[in-house]
């Protein structure tokens, strides 16, 4: 019987984490009489035995709080920095849990956390995961908590940029988070009324983007809003990246592999600051003044929306139930409004990108928004 559980939050913080911690803790303690601990700072806390007892007091008053009361980190159990070394600490972490009397873990995180948890689970650690990230890119779930709040923040930003755009007759280019997926940029672009939305799933052609802005100008619109997902890529760079990836995959010797990996890393570095480049190029191609706004971590901050609170609470309660049922090696996903249990093997290492036939893409095209292609 599972009597004691440990909760950890890993990866970037996200609105709704505390709501989920609260739901797991309350359900585990009240419905199943379990003791609940939190590990601090993600997987690092498991390695360093840093725990906090999550009793009634600790779980009260946190539903509306942003961030995570447990702290987080991007540490990976199988590649943990320990002193000046990088070591596989998965075995040590499982032993730590056994020593502390932790029967099961509940790991809250995005794609990276699902992969890391899957590794621990394959080594024998009983665990359940929850999908959180503002990027909405975890496989097998239709929503991740954090996304709704970030979408609202990004939408408000696009709304607000309209004031300067139309007053100064400018192109306002706004960079929106999302890692390598365009959910946030596309959603907020449509909801906020952007004129152009560039997402990683649709490599763009700058000449076509400029053409669409000039068409707006000749139609009498003297301003434009361009929403750029942080992972957006030009068609030319997408081709180059594809070639570099193929080279890395085809490399047979260690030397060739390292060289190909270094070339890919240099290429990715050269793409940094890409949104500012988009604005500069558009200014040159259209002759219209442009400005850049990078929303950054503002999108991850503050109190979670009611949608994220509901989702995190629903999934959190179901995670505690799954632990009580000793149903391990699974993620609690949201599918058609239901909290469902999905084997971690179907989630780890996959990413949920915006499908090209997604209704949001159709809607954007129907409205005449440019997607850069
Ligand atoms: O995964 C969430 C996210 O906010 C991404 O959208 C973004 O690319 C990344 O995290 C930023 O990470 P960090 O906070 O470590 O800079």
* Rounded distance between C-alpha atoms, residue 199 and residue 227, angstroms: 9
Measured in degrees and rounded to the nearest 5, phi and psi for residue 44 equal -60, -35
Mean pLDDT within 57-63: 95
**Which CATH code, of 3.40.50.450, 3.10.129.10, 3.90.1150.10, 3.40.50.300, is assigned to 4-145+304-346?**
3.40.50.450
The answer to whether 148 and 311 are in contact (CB under 8 A) is yes
> 338 burial class (0-12, 13-18, 19+ CB within 10 angstroms)?
exposed
Task: Provide residues with CB under 6 Å of ligand 1.
Answer: 12, 110, 133-135, 177-179, 230, 300
Mean pLDDT within 3-11: 97
Mean pLDDT within 267-294: 94
Q: Write down the domain spans for the chain.
A: 4-145+304-346, 150-300+356-366
What are 206-257's pLDDT values in tens digits? 999 999 999 999 999 999 999 999 999 999 999 999 999 999 999 999 999 9
Res 340: pLDDT: 98
Q: Does residue 188 sit in helix, strand or coil?
A: helix
What are 360-371's pLDDT values in tens digits? 999 999 999 999
What are 147-206's pLDDT values in tens digits? 999 999 999 999 999 999 999 999 999 999 999 999 999 999 999 999 999 999 999 999
| Candidate of 132, 137, 179, 352 to mutate for ligand 1, largest count of ligand atoms within 8 Å of Cβ | 179
| Candidate of 9, 12, 115 to mutate for ligand 1, largest count of ligand atoms within 8 Å of Cβ | 12
The answer to whether 297 and 67 are in contact (CB under 8 A) is no
| End-to-end CA, the chain | 56
What are 92-109's pLDDT values in tens digits? 999 999 999 999 999 999
Residue 78 CB partners (closer than 8 Å, separation 6+) = 88, 89, 90, 116, 119
C-alpha separations of 236 from 239, 240, 278, 351 in Å: 5, 6, 14, 23
Measured in degrees and rounded to the nearest 5, phi and psi for residue 52 equal -140, 140
Fold agreement between 4-145+304-346 and 150-300+356-366: yes
CATH topology (fold) of 150-300+356-366: Rossmann fold (3.40.50)
């Amino acid at each position: 019987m599972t009597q004691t559980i440990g909760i950890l939050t890993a990866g970037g913080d996200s609105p709704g984490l505390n709501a989920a911690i609260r739901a797991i803790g309350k359900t585990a303690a009240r419905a199943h009489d379990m003791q609940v601990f939190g590990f601090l700072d993600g997987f690092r806390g498991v390695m360093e035995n840093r725990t906090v007892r999550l009793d009634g007091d600790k779980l009260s008053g946190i539903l509306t709080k942003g961030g995570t009361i447990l702290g987080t980190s991007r540490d990976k159990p199988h590649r943990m920095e320990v002193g000046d070394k990088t070591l596989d600490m998965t075995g040590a972490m499982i032993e730590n849990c056994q020593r502390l009397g932790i029967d099961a873990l509940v790991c809250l995180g995005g794609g990276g956390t699902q992969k890391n948890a899957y590794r621990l689970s394959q080594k024998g650690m009983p665990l359940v995961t929850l999908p959180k990230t503002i990027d909405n890119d975890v496989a097998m779930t239709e929503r991740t908590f954090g996304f709704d709040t970030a979408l609202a923040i990004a939408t408000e930003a696009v709304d607000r940029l309209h004031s300067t755009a139309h007053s100064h007759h400018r192109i306002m280019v706004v960079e929106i988070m999302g890692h390598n997926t365009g959910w946030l940029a596309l959603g907020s672009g449509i909801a906020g009324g952007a004129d152009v939305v560039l997402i990683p799933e649709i490599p763009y052609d700058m000449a076509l983007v400029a053409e669409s802005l000039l068409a707006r100008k000749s139609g009498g619109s003297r301003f434009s809003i361009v929403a750029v997902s942080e992972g957006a890529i030009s068609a030319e760079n997408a081709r180059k990246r594809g070639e570099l990836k193929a080279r890395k995959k085809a490399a047979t010797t260690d030397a060739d592999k390292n060289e190909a990996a270094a070339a890919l890393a240099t290429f990715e570095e050269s793409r940094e600051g890409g949104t500012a480049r988009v604005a500069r190029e558009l200014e040159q191609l259209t002759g219209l003044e442009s400005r850049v706004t990078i929303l950054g971590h503002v999108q991850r901050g503050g109190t979670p929306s009611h949608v994220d609170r509901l989702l995190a609470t629903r999934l959190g309660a179901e995670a505690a139930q799954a632990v009580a049922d000793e149903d391990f090696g699974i993620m609690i996903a949201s599918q058609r409004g239901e909290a469902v249990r999905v084997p971690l093997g179907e989630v780890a290492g996959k990413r949920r990108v915006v499908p090209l036939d997604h209704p949001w893409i159709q809607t954007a095209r129907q409205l005449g928004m440019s997607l850069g292609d």
